[in-house]
Amino acid sequence: MEADRFQELCEEFLLSGLEGEELRAFREELDRRGAEGGRILDRTMEAMGLLALSAPPVDPPPALRERLMAEVGAGTERRGESAEGSGAGSTPTGPSLVEDAPAEPASAGAARRDPSGPGHERPDIGHSRLDRPSPADAPYPWVRSILLAAAIVAAVVLGAWNVNLQSDLSERTAALEEAQQELEAVDTLRQELATLREDLGTIVSPTGSVISLTGTETRPDARARVFVDPQTGRALILAFDLPILTAESLYQLWAIRDGEPFSVGTFTATEEGPARLELDSLDPVAGADLLAVTIEPAPGQPAPTGEMVLISGQ
Amino acid sequence: MTQASPEQLAAWIQRMAAQDERAFAEFYDATSASVFGLLVRILKDRTQAEEVAQEVYLQLWRKAGSFDPERGSPWSWVVVMARSRAIDATRSDRSYGSALSDLEARPTAQPLGNPTPRPDRAADLSEQRELVQGAMESLTEPQRETIQAAFFEGWSHREIAKRTGVPLGTVKGRVRGALATLENVLRPQLGEQSMGGD
């Protein structure tokens, strides 16, 4: 999986969750990338932590603090009592705060000891419905045998029927999942087509202009075009014949004004076509004397530090 | 307003793991306005936000022992927990929180974060808030609207594309651009490690 795609899945996983095939692909790729994949996920998580700070703080009602402190205190108290009251090796009954299991019900005192082992309890269900006469007391032992045989046959038939139903259900579920995946694939294709149309609109815009970037001495074959459409306020950068970088690096586009570089955005090269960067605003490139592309450590740098591979106006 | 540094938050969480109620109280006092603000922003209902905040803080108390500073900052840990509870409260299938449980279920042999210790950070969360608000201003309007829809509404990229009529590729580009801009703007002020980077 391309670094770009993995980053995209990290963002979607943390922002809205993933499902189905995408979730499986993400988990596999995360496992495959090991610590490096973890670092990318971690970095995205940190960015999300900061995003949360863009929400204005709101003081919660004082009653919330009181309730929480009461619950935390009660939990600790119950835990202490339980630890004091229980012998070595016994399991404390967990307070709701510390353990997810509910506290022992008051009726548990009426529970009956389970002879299968110490400490195990089961509710007292009484004798009336479970008491059976001993075989010696049965008036017609052969009737019981017939009924037992009939019950076994019924159980076998029902079991076989259940297996068939389960198999049928599994097949239908698999077919449904397949259909859902196909629908998602169609949806993705539709979205990609819409993106291509939008790109084409920018490229052929009658009011648009094009800035060409050529490869530097180290990358003489590389080239790029920046399509600027003032009508929609959109710019599209397509770069060709750039080498595919490792996950730790990416390409960064700079606008140079009065000799000072300003970051425009980052992008990566893939095997699937030209490298692509889209801008929703022309501000980052407006008034630039030069445009240049450098190779930088991911996720980009505030000022250029790496090798320059493309430059305009040459 | 949160005044605690990340190191102070981590120290309180460590004490909470040892059932220190005072540490819990201090942790709550330092973070509750930010957490409650986040929940009100997502849920748009103070009563529901209060219920979810109670669940979140009890979960933080219960799970304090599972916090691993090697995997990320304490604040991002709190945010992931609070946000997943809130997003699930807005969804009928509660699928988001269960998907994120993968984060905790991951074995420590496969670390999520940088295994090296993080250096001291000067900026506490209230200072970070000011920086973040400045960074949000530097985003383009479409980037800001898209990242807010994704983060505070919990909409998937596809949902945003469908609801706004913007192509999926553009939505993804805006989310990526917004996060990258935030990182680029904030990294020099907060230090390399504060973004969880190398």
Q: Each residue of A212-265: pLDDT tens digit? A: 999 998 888 899 999 998 888 889 999 999 988 887 889 999 999 888 998 888
**Tally of structural domains, chain A:** 2
Q: Which of A43, A65, A283 sits opposite B197 (nearest CB)?
A: A43
Residue A230: inside a domain: yes
Residue A193: inside a domain: no
Q: Which of B19, B147, B182 sits opposite A76 (nearest CB)?
A: B19
Question: Cβ distance B125 to B75 under 8 Å?
Answer: yes
pLDDT of residue A231: 85
pLDDT of residue A138: 52
Q: Which of A19, A42, A72 sits opposite B196 (nearest CB)?
A: A42
Would you call A58 and B100 a contact, using CB atoms and an 8 Å cutoff? no
Residue A295: inside a domain: yes
What residues in B contact A44, CB-CB < 8 Å?
179
Residue A158: inside a domain: no
Q: What is the pLDDT of residues A21-64, one digit of tens each?
A: 778 888 888 888 887 888 888 888 888 888 888 898 999 999 99
Q: Which residue of chain B comes nearest to A187, CA vs CA? A: B158
| ipTM value for the complex | 0.80
Which residue, chain included where needed, has tokens 């967990």?
A94
Q: Which two tokens stand for residue B80?
A: 């992931």
Would you call A23 and B99 a contact, using CB atoms and an 8 Å cutoff? yes
pLDDT at A97 over 90: no
Residue A272: inside a domain: yes
Give chain A's mean pLDDT.
Answer: 76
pLDDT of residue B126: 75
pLDDT of residue B33: 93
pLDDT of residue B189: 56
SS3 of residue A57 by DSSP: coil
In terms of residue numbers, what domain contains A23? 3-44
Q: Which two tokens stand for residue A254?
A: 């700079």
d(CA B133, CA B152): 15
Residue A53: inside a domain: no
Confidence of residue B2 (pLDDT cuts 50, 70, 90): low
pLDDT at B1 over 60: no
d(CA B15, CA B24): 8
Q: What domains lie within chain B, and their CATH numbers? A: 1-117 (1.10.1740.10), 119-198 (1.10.10.10)
What percentage of residues in chain A have a pLDDT greater than 90?
17
What residues in A contact B106, CB-CB < 8 Å?
38
SS3 of residue B130 by DSSP: helix
Confidence of residue B102 (pLDDT cuts 50, 70, 90): low
SS3 of residue A241 by DSSP: coil
